[in-house]
Amino acid sequence: MRLPRVPNSIAGPSRPRIPLSLPINAIHSSARYVSARAARITHSPYVGEALPVPFPQDPRAESRTPARTEVYLQDFEALGIKPGIARALRESFSQVVHPTFCQAQLIPAVLEGKDVLLRDITGSGKSFGLLLALLSRLRKGPAPGKHPGRTPEIPLETALLLVPHSNLALQLQYWARQLIPVSLFPDLAPVLSVVLRGTGTPMTELAERLRRTPPHILVGTATALVELAETDWAALGIPRLRTIAVDEADDLLGVPGVFASRKEQRNFAKHPPPALSLLRAILSERPKRPTSSVSRKSHDPLQAIFMSATLNRPVREFIKLELDCLSREKGGIVKVDVVNTRREFATRMRGKVEHYCLVVGEESVRDVRSASTDTRLNGARQEDMDEEDLEEGDMDQPYPSANGTPNPDAAHAGSTSPSPSADSPQQKTAQKEEPETPRQARAHPDRGHIIHELELFSTPLDASERPLLPLSLPSTQDEIIPNYPSQMFETIAAALALDVRRLAVLFVPPQVSVRRVVDLFGGLGVRARGLDLGSGEGGRGALAGSTQLVSSPSTVPQRPSQEQQGPEAQAQETQETQSPELLITSFPHSRGLDLPALSHVFLLGAAPSLTSYLHMAGRLGRRSALLAGVDAAAAGAVGMGPAGEGPAAAGWNEEEEVGPGKIITVVKEVMRPAWADDLRYGGGPDQLWGEERKVARLYRMMGVVPGRWAGEGEEDEGEGEAEELEEEE
Ligand SMILES: Nc1ncnc2c1ncn2[C@@H]1O[C@H](COP(=O)(O)OP(=O)(O)OP(=O)(O)O)[C@@H](O)[C@H]1O
């Protein structure tokens, strides 16, 4: 079987290392420098106190959510989890007592062999719940073939689980190891095997192992599984497949959104992502319904499971209509749709995740101007939110028809609009009489322009306009990483030193080399490593809440042993291990990762889309996300991570972790050119410019107010030190 060629996105050619000559002093060595730097984190003149946004609640959220109490007070056995797994859960994850709301629906559905479409907020336990359910289905039987004696018992069936990146596969493997007793399976391979690229094991060898010991759960990245399929189709064990599950399905299927351009749609049709090619190939052999090549008698349909925090409508429609892999029988599909709009997502995260945007100029750093303070944009803002809901609407609700069939949600959103124009008496009457659809609202002449992302960033500009966001921001001489001046890294280092206690993650755009950024932070005296859970024992530490991570070998300097070190060196090492650690990875590798000790997420530059922003923000406040959804009676018992290795074992106060996490976007300040004042979109002296504008848009779409970075007191103190430092200089 030959699948379409896919670009090697995982193991690309390694770039030559470029020696760094940093013009900046090592930050950690000078606390005063850090304070001085922090003092320059001043505030935009635009930003007042953060306004409480009168943000409309989505009424559907409440009405759709059934009474949860009885769900949470169940235990895992009652849902069908095998007693052995439930026991291991109690022993290894002692604080995971009651299932979350989505788990209470996911687990029985998986066990009953139903197809599942699941959407719930990040950190609600989707992946964990799926793993529990799949492990509970483990049954062994005699090996097929001529030599049954060679492998006396093997799992009877296989579930294929596709994940977007290797870290997530390793996380699942780590969890499985905690749940399956070593006494029963000293080698985890028959229970769960992982197929990844770039591990050093040739694919032929992996295929041979899988043929010899077909696993109960086969986890792999899409690219690795495609390579395996091309190397040895039989190694996938298609005849024994019972389930095919896709975690982070929207990412893996890459279905263009409702506002995708023709070009994007053409590209998707012409070059389907690897996961899609693989699914199609598997489904052609194991289709949902009998076909000319698969007779009714031999027909044995696969169970299909698709999950994501952002499983939006285009993806669901695609799965249902194009991929045609969902049951058409009554009760054959379980749709679990708990958090279904971006607004609701942000509302659930409120108080658990704080958002900041630092705009780094040549001389100073300031906050982004709060999106909520701009009354002129309010009219457009509400309509934008309606439009987001149009895209993110609930699973069974059809699109509003093109002829303008009224949409009750639009009516609700309109009535709570903060828009000055929408508040006018005439508007209110109009809304009462005939609710508008979002599309109608958008076309309303009195409401001002909708400044949609599409219009902002990809409209073909007419001759009098120039691109709103310059494709390549002007670079200066001292930029070690093009387009990202060193001040941006200094700012992150300063924020890390001041605000982070244990662990932070920095997401960099995919075109930026993680290794170079690690080196750069090393030069600033920051404990920085590439986030790679596969590079040794350290990965386990990250998952368990410890920060003793192992990074790619090239980034870890060789240290002498304790005996070889003098007391000074030992003291320095102790100090170093106590300082916060920064893990560096690129934007696409965030999804699904669960790092218990994480308190801060930094983004280098604006997030490419709201979806990716939500996933990156979703690495934070995960414990709170679980707590928030859990009935008060159960709340005290919920926790994260395996017992004995979790936060408590890692020596930190769990209470502290429950406090809000911080997602800090660091962007480069770009001066608005004079010609921009005349622009129809994005022009005008009161409008933001560059990436700052893009970030403000994301906040606006989520309905969040960015926080102010430093309090007044800190600012004064820092300023004093900054002056002192300047005097010295
Ligand atoms: N019922 C539960 N009670 C308490 N903790 C739980 C429960 N289920 C899972 N957890 C913990 O919650 C964390 C997050 O789980 P998981 O990664 O499965 O969430 P997710 O919904 O898949 O997140 P994402 O959307 O980011 O992939 C894990 O550390 C897991 O141990």
> pLDDT for 326-381, tens place per residue?
988 888 889 888 876 677 777 788 778 889 988 888 777 877 754 333 433 334 43
pLDDT at residue 505 is higher than 90: yes
**To test ligand 1's pocket by mutation, which of 128, 615, 620 has the most ligand atoms within 8 angstroms of CB?**
128
Do both 509 and 584 map to the same domain? Answer: yes
Do both 260 and 349 map to the same domain? Answer: no
Tens of pLDDT, residue by residue over 80-139, are: 999 989 999 988 887 788 888 889 999 999 999 999 999 988 888 999 999 999 999 887
What is the atom index within ligand 1 of the atom nearest the CA of 642?
A: 31
Do both 46 and 194 map to the same domain? Answer: no
* Binding site membership of 393 for ligand 1 (Cβ less than 6 Å): no
**Predicted pLDDT of residue 659:** 64
Do both 596 and 695 map to the same domain? Answer: yes
Q: Which two tokens stand for residue 63?
A: 């009405």
What is the atom index within ligand 1 of the atom nearest the CA of 618?
A: 26
Contact present, 37 and 598 (Cβ < 8 Å): no
Instruction: Tell me the pairing of strands 140-142 and 153-155.
Output: antiparallel
CA atoms within 13 A on the CB side of 125: 28
pLDDT at residue 683 is higher than 70: no
Look up the CATH number of the domain holding residue 580.
3.40.50.300
Which residue owns the Cα nearest ligand 1 atom 25?
122
* Binding site membership of 435 for ligand 1 (Cβ less than 6 Å): no
pLDDT at residue 393 is higher than 90: no
The residues with which 530 forms a beta bridge, in sequence order, are 584
Tens of pLDDT, residue by residue over 290-309, are: 777 777 777 888 999 999 98
**Predicted pLDDT of residue 705:** 79
Tens of pLDDT, residue by residue over 600-632, are: 999 999 888 888 898 998 888 766 544 444 333
Average pLDDT over residues 516-538: 81
Which range, of 455-469, 583-597, 657-671, averages the lowest pLDDT? Answer: 455-469
Do both 321 and 351 map to the same domain? Answer: no
pLDDT at residue 289 is higher than 90: no
What's the one-letter identity of residue 658? V
Distance 348 CA to ligand 1 centre (A): 16
Do both 47 and 110 map to the same domain? Answer: no
pLDDT at residue 173 is higher than 70: yes
**Predicted pLDDT of residue 145:** 52
Most confident of 152-156, 222-226, 404-408, 481-485: 222-226
Do both 222 and 359 map to the same domain? Answer: no
Nearest of 625, 587, 592, 594 to residue 609 by alpha carbon: 587
* Binding site membership of 99 for ligand 1 (Cβ less than 6 Å): yes
| Inside any domain, residue 78 | no
* Binding site membership of 128 for ligand 1 (Cβ less than 6 Å): yes
Identify the residue whose tokens are 């800190």.
Answer: 714
Do both 44 and 104 map to the same domain? Answer: no
**Predicted pLDDT of residue 574:** 54
* Binding site membership of 646 for ligand 1 (Cβ less than 6 Å): no
* Binding site membership of 309 for ligand 1 (Cβ less than 6 Å): yes
**Residue 221's pLDDT band (boundaries 50, 70, 90)?**
very high
Distance 702 CA to ligand 1 centre (A): 23
362 CA to centre of own chain: 31
Average pLDDT over residues 254-268: 86
**Residue 569's pLDDT band (boundaries 50, 70, 90)?**
low
pLDDT at residue 152 is higher than 90: no
Most confident of 27-41, 286-300, 570-584, 684-698: 286-300
| Inside any domain, residue 75 | no
**Predicted pLDDT of residue 122:** 87
Total domains in the chain come to: 2
Q: First vs last Cα of the chain: how many Å apart?
A: 69
* Binding site membership of 76 for ligand 1 (Cβ less than 6 Å): no
Q: CA 256, CA 319: separation in Å to the nearest integer?
A: 13
Which residue owns the Cα nearest ligand 1 atom 2?
96
What's the one-letter identity of residue 249? A
| Inside any domain, residue 366 | yes
**Predicted pLDDT of residue 600:** 92
Using CA atoms in the order 30, 35, 40, 44, what is the torsion angle rounded to 10 degrees? 150
Which range, of 242-251, 498-507, 614-623, averages the lowest pLDDT? Answer: 614-623
Q: What is the ipTM of this complex?
A: 0.98
**Predicted pLDDT of residue 222:** 93
What is the atom index within ligand 1 of the atom nearest the CA of 623?
A: 12
Do both 257 and 361 map to the same domain? Answer: no
Average pLDDT over residues 574-603: 82
Distance 542 CA to ligand 1 centre (A): 15
**To test ligand 1's pocket by mutation, which of 101, 594, 645 has the most ligand atoms within 8 angstroms of CB?**
594
Distance 103 CA to ligand 1 centre (A): 9
Do both 582 and 535 map to the same domain? Answer: yes
Q: CA 505, CA 549: separation in Å to the nearest integer?
A: 12
| Inside any domain, residue 653 | no
Tens of pLDDT, residue by residue over 48-76, are: 333 333 333 444 444 444 444 445 556 88
Nearest of 95, 51, 72, 93 to residue 658 by alpha carbon: 95
**Predicted pLDDT of residue 129:** 95
Do both 206 and 304 map to the same domain? Answer: yes
Distance 119 CA to ligand 1 centre (A): 13
Stronger pLDDT, 40 or 338, i.e. the higher one:
338
* Binding site membership of 100 for ligand 1 (Cβ less than 6 Å): yes
| Inside any domain, residue 415 | no
* Binding site membership of 178 for ligand 1 (Cβ less than 6 Å): no
Tens of pLDDT, residue by residue over 630-673, are: 333 233 332 333 333 333 333 333 444 446 889 999 998 877 66
| Inside any domain, residue 431 | no
| Inside any domain, residue 6 | no
* Binding site membership of 592 for ligand 1 (Cβ less than 6 Å): yes
Distance 660 CA to ligand 1 centre (A): 17
| Inside any domain, residue 461 | no
Contact present, 521 and 584 (Cβ < 8 Å): yes
Question: What mean pLDDT value characterizes the chain?
Answer: 68
**Predicted pLDDT of residue 702:** 79
Which range, of 152-166, 197-211, 404-418, averages the lowest pLDDT? Answer: 404-418
Stronger pLDDT, 312 or 716, i.e. the higher one:
312
Q: CA 398, CA 499: separation in Å to the nearest integer?
A: 46
Contact present, 488 and 666 (Cβ < 8 Å): yes
Distance 118 CA to ligand 1 centre (A): 14
What is the atom index within ligand 1 of the atom nearest the CA of 102?
A: 21
pLDDT at residue 680 is higher than 80: no
Q: Coil, strand or helix: which one is 472?
A: coil
Contact present, 483 and 668 (Cβ < 8 Å): yes
Which residue owns the Cα nearest ligand 1 atom 9?
125
**Predicted pLDDT of residue 296:** 78
User: Which helix (H) or strand (E) covers residue 360, if one does?
Assistant: strand 353-360
pLDDT over 70, % of the chain: 55
E strands, 420-526, are: 503-508
* Binding site membership of 640 for ligand 1 (Cβ less than 6 Å): yes
Structural domain including 582 reads 32-53+345-371+474-555+574-621+660-728
Do both 37 and 107 map to the same domain? Answer: no
